């Protein structure tokens, strides 16, 4: 081979090597993009799975108040939108600090458009996958997936109201049962009637169901000529005579409601409402059977089976209200008790299924189903109701008016505020035949604006989950930037109260109910477990922060058994937490966002803008009604 040929060969080899070297960056970039697309796909699947299976209840809250703005379960907190439901330390995503998000550029400036529209940019939590309790937090290794940031584009639909603050229907009771009662603070004239009837024994409670139907009170308790009758008396004395008197009170209620011995004394089980019984009066039969079935069943604790086969006699003539309508004599037998129980269960279930907007009867606990919940939404096209925050010295507040899909019959009163009519209605309000109007327009919206059941095209409920990749953790203030702004309703404020007759100030409502993080899934700062409890100004890079974060409910531990976090799950609650509780609640001091238990300061100054590269997009269906797959 000549020197010329060798030279040509070397040129060709050099060209090939240089070409290969030039292709390497694009190959590496393609490999990185493919890896982050896998991360994004896994995260999207995790989020949609959590969205469709996360708990829809948030117990240990106060949810009822005469005005919607006086309790925390608001439209914003309880909205069944993907980002609102999952932006929690329970469900795997956290809002990126606004100070950082506003520095990021993207194709078409899409990130900044999301922020301008009021949306947030999110990142993945560094701990275990979605759905794990934060009780066992431990430090985690570097997580490359945290370089992913994502947002939800497309407007969310107006959702159904999961909790109507004025009355959190449905109310559940086991059937058969006595009139509904429950634990209640002593607030006569403020949140309960001045003549409320207290329960017996244990914590103070009141009978509240009689605010809808006063005839229920003697069934619960009454004193006639020095002799006590009803459920409360029987619960206190536990004798055959007290059980008989409870039965007499229930028989009197049957007489008052027009339920005859031919109906409740039959041994044939009822499977349908009697022909000719008006729909508006069906509740009377259900309640009559409910109380009498419970009362007669109580007899079985004091008599033998042979006694019931013979029959236990009950005297008539009981008339606690001196109305001239006295109870009928009755003989209780075992077949009657069995038929009463079965008829009660059948007609209660039938009533709930056929009359979802008739609230005269609590829903059966043994048959709690989705259809027990009414379809209610806020009227966004009618002027909202205005008022002031309770206990806050005239601070103005507003909320849209609710609309139900059908007029609500027998709306009654709420348990927590049983001395006040719900949204200006009469407790016994009944719509006229064929009426589509709600009782008043002062508190209720326009029925013509109800949209939950209207036809829709798929694009109306399609939203998009968009992922980008950017090295946002390289910023110098990656962990000292404040958390993204919180909706005030994420603080589980207590309902109006007046202990001892004196209305509680707003500051007292901020202390109760306490934070129960293991049940309040969508409350507090999503970065709560990672949030610093004091300023990190002047702290060096690498500073040990294991005792400077709020941490988990029970206090996590490192693999070496060292405590992580403050260990006080109520840290950022007024009056219960430590110093700086307000600043800790809103994340003012930043957070240990990669959870390595060290303060990290990246090399990139906050003045530098970074470009986020598009990774993937996923379409998903935007639910309007709370739902959960099991």
Question: Residue 125's pLDDT is what?
Answer: 86
Domain that holds residue 593: 21-160+463-621
For the residues 240-259, what does the mean pLDDT come to?
A: 98
pLDDT tier at 581, thresholds 50, 70, 90: confident
Q: What dihedral do alpha carbons 252, 256, 262, 265 form, nearest 10°?
A: -30
- Does the residue 472 lie in any domain? yes
Q: Are residues 226 and 348 in the same domain?
A: yes
Q: Which letter does DSSP use for residue 580 in this model?
A: T
Tens-digit pLDDT profile for residues 409-460: 999 999 999 999 888 776 655 666 556 556 677 889 998 899 999 999 988 8
Tens-digit pLDDT profile for residues 283-305: 999 999 999 999 999 999 999 99
For the residues 240-247, what does the mean pLDDT come to?
A: 98
For the residues 302-313, what does the mean pLDDT come to?
A: 95
Q: Which of 372, 397, 416 is the last residue of a domain?
A: 372
Q: How far apart are CA 276 and CA 282, in angstroms?
A: 10
Tens-digit pLDDT profile for residues 357-399: 999 999 999 999 888 999 999 999 999 999 999 999 889 999 9
Q: How far apart are CA 554 and CA 137, in angstroms?
A: 9
Mean pLDDT of the chain: 88
Lookup: tokens for 277? 């019984």
- Does the residue 78 lie in any domain? yes
- Does the residue 149 lie in any domain? yes
- Does the residue 604 lie in any domain? yes
| 268 within 8 A of 310, measured Cβ to Cβ | no
For the residues 331-359, what does the mean pLDDT come to?
A: 97
Q: Are residues 38 and 153 in the same domain?
A: yes
Question: Residue 377's pLDDT is what?
Answer: 94
Q: Are residues 517 and 557 in the same domain?
A: yes
Task: Identify the three-state secondary structure at position 108.
Answer: helix
| 118 within 8 A of 625, measured Cβ to Cβ | no
CA-nearest of 431, 425, 371, 433 to 401 is: 425
Instruction: Write phi, then psi, for 101 (nearest 5 degrees).
Output: -60, -35
| pTM exceeds 0.75 | yes
Tokens 């009782």 belong to residue: 439
| 330 within 8 A of 316, measured Cβ to Cβ | yes
- Does the residue 202 lie in any domain? yes
Q: Which of 354, 372, 390 is the last residue of a domain?
A: 372
Q: Are residues 148 and 239 in the same domain?
A: no
Q: What are the distances in angstroms from CA 60 to CA 252, 389, 390? A: 38, 22, 21
Answer yes or no: is pLDDT of 28 > 90.
no
The share of the chain scoring above pLDDT 70, in percent, equals 89
- Among 332-336, 454-458, 489-493, the range scoring the smallest mean pLDDT is 489-493
Question: Residue 135's pLDDT is what?
Answer: 47
- Does the residue 165 lie in any domain? no
Instruction: Write phi, then psi, for 358 (nearest 5 degrees).
Output: -105, 110
pLDDT tier at 259, thresholds 50, 70, 90: very high
Lookup: tokens for 577? 């937490």
- Does the residue 414 lie in any domain? no
Q: Is the dihedral of CA 605, 607, 613, 618 positive or negative?
A: positive
Q: Are residues 61 and 192 in the same domain?
A: no
Q: Which of 328, 357, 372 is the last residue of a domain?
A: 372
Question: Residue 12's pLDDT is what?
Answer: 74
Q: Are residues 151 and 176 in the same domain?
A: no
For the residues 144-162, what does the mean pLDDT come to?
A: 92
For the residues 346-357, what does the mean pLDDT come to?
A: 96
Answer yes or no: is pLDDT of 74 > 90.
no
Answer yes or no: is pLDDT of 554 > 60.
no
E strands within 528-568? 556-557, 563-564
Lookup: tokens for 574? 């007024």
Q: Are residues 108 and 205 in the same domain?
A: no
CA-nearest of 571, 585, 568, 600 to 482 is: 585
Answer yes or no: is pLDDT of 141 > 70.
no
Question: Residue 517's pLDDT is what?
Answer: 77
| 384 within 8 A of 364, measured Cβ to Cβ | no
- Does the residue 439 lie in any domain? no
For the residues 174-202, what does the mean pLDDT come to?
A: 92
Answer yes or no: is pLDDT of 596 > 50.
yes
Q: Are residues 210 and 352 in the same domain?
A: yes
Answer yes or no: is pLDDT of 497 > 80.
yes
Label each residue of 10-57 as H, E or C: HHHHHHHHHHHHHHHHHHHHHHHHHHHHHHHHHHHHHHHHHHHHCCCC
Q: How far apart are CA 400 and CA 404, in angstroms?
A: 13
Q: Are residues 176 and 120 in the same domain?
A: no
Q: Are residues 216 and 152 in the same domain?
A: no
Q: Which letter does DSSP use for residue 482 in this model?
A: P
Q: How far apart are CA 336 and CA 343, in angstroms?
A: 10
Instruction: Write phi, then psi, for 235 (nearest 5 degrees).
Output: -65, -30
Q: Are residues 351 and 477 in the same domain?
A: no
Q: What are the distances in angstroms from CA 497 to CA 302, 354, 489, 515? A: 43, 36, 18, 18
E strands within 470-586? 556-557, 563-564
Lookup: tokens for 332? 């209780």
Q: Are residues 141 and 177 in the same domain?
A: no
Answer yes or no: is pLDDT of 22 > 50.
yes
Q: How far apart are CA 474 and CA 608, in angstroms?
A: 11
Burial class (CB in 10 A: 0-12, 13-18, 19+), 453: exposed
Per the structure, how many domains does the chain have?
Answer: 2
549-573 burial: b if 16+ Cβ within 10 Å, else e: bbbbbebbbeeeeeebbbebbbbbb
Find the length of the chain.
630
CA-nearest of 262, 334, 265 to 300 is: 334
Lookup: tokens for 506? 């707003």
């Amino acid at each position: 081979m000549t020197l010329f040929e060798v030279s040509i060969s070397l040129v060709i080899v050099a060209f090939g090597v240089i070409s290969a070297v030039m292709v390497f960056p694009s190959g590496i970039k393609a490999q990185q993009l493919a890896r982050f697309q896998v991360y994004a796909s896994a995260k999207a699947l995790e989020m949609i799975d959590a969205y469709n299976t996360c708990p829809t209840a948030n117990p240990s809250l106060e949810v009822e108040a005469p005005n919607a703005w006086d309790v925390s379960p608001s439209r914003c907190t309880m909205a069944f939108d993907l980002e609102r439901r999952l932006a929690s330390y329970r469900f795997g995503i956290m809002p990126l600090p606004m100070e950082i998000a506003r520095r990021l550029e993207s194709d078409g400036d899409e990130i900044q458009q999301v922020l301008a529209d009021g949306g947030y940019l999110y990142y993945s939590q560094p701990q275990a996958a979605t759905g794990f309790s934060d009780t066992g937090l431990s430090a985690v290794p570097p997580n490359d997936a945290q370089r992913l940031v994502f947002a939800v584009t497309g407007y969310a639909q107006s959702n159904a109201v999961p909790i109507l603050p004025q009355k959190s229907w449905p109310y559940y009771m086991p059937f058969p049962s006595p009139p509904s009662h429950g634990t209640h603070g002593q607030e006569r004239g403020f949140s309960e009637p001045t003549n409320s009837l207290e329960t017996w024994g244990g914590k103070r409670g009141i009978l509240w169901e009689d605010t809808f139907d006063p005839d229920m009170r003697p069934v619960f308790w009454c004193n006639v000529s020095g002799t006590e009758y009803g459920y409360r008396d029987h619960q206190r004395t536990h004798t055959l005579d007290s059980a008989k008197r409870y039965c007499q009170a229930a028989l009197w209620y049957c007489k008052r409601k027009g339920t005859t011995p031919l109906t409740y004394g039959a041994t044939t089980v009822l499977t349908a409402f009697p022909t000719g019984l008006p729909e508006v009066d069906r509740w009377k039969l259900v309640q009559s059977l409910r109380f009498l079935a419970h009362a007669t069943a109580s007899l079985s604790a004091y008599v033998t089976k042979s006694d019931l086969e013979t029959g236990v006699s009950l005297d008539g003539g009981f008339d606690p209200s001196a109305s001239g309508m006295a109870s009928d004599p009755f003989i209780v037998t075992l077949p009657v008790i069995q038929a009463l129980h079965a008829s009660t269960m059948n007609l209660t279930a039938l009533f709930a299924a056929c009359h979802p907007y008739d609230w005269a009867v609590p829903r059966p606990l043994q048959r709690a189903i989705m259809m027990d919940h009414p379809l209610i939404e806020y009227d966004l096209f009618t002027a909202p109701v205005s008022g002031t925050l309770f206990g806050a010295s005239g601070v103005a507040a507003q909320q849209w008016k609710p609309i139900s899909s059908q007029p609500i019959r027998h709306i009654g009163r709420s348990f927590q505020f049983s001395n006040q009519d719900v949204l200006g209605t009469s407790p016994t309000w009944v719509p006229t035949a064929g009426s589509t109007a709600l009782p008043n327009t002062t508190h209720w919206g326009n029925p013509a604006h109800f949209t939950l059941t209207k036809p829709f095209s798929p694009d109306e409920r399609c939203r998009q989950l968009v992922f980008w990749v950017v090295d946002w953790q390289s910023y110098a203030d990656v962990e000292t930037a404040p958390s993204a702004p919180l909706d005030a309703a994420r603080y589980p404020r207590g309902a109006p109260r007046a202990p001892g007759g004196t209305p509680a100030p707003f500051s007292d409502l901020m202390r109760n109910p306490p934070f129960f993080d293991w049940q309040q899934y969508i409350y507090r700062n999503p970065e709560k477990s990672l949030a610093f409890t004091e300023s990190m100004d002047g702290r060096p890079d690498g500073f040990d922060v294991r005792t400077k974060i709020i941490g988990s409910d029970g206090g996590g531990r490192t693999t070496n058994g060292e405590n992580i976090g403050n260990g006080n799950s109520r840290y950022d609650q007024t009056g219960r937490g430590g110093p700086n509780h307000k600043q800790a609640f809103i994340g003012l001091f930043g957070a240990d966002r990669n959870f390595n238990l060290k303060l990290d300061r990246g090399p990139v100054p906050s003045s530098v803008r970074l470009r986020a590269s598009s990774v993937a997009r996923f379409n998903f269906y935007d639910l309007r009604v709370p739902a959960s797959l099991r």
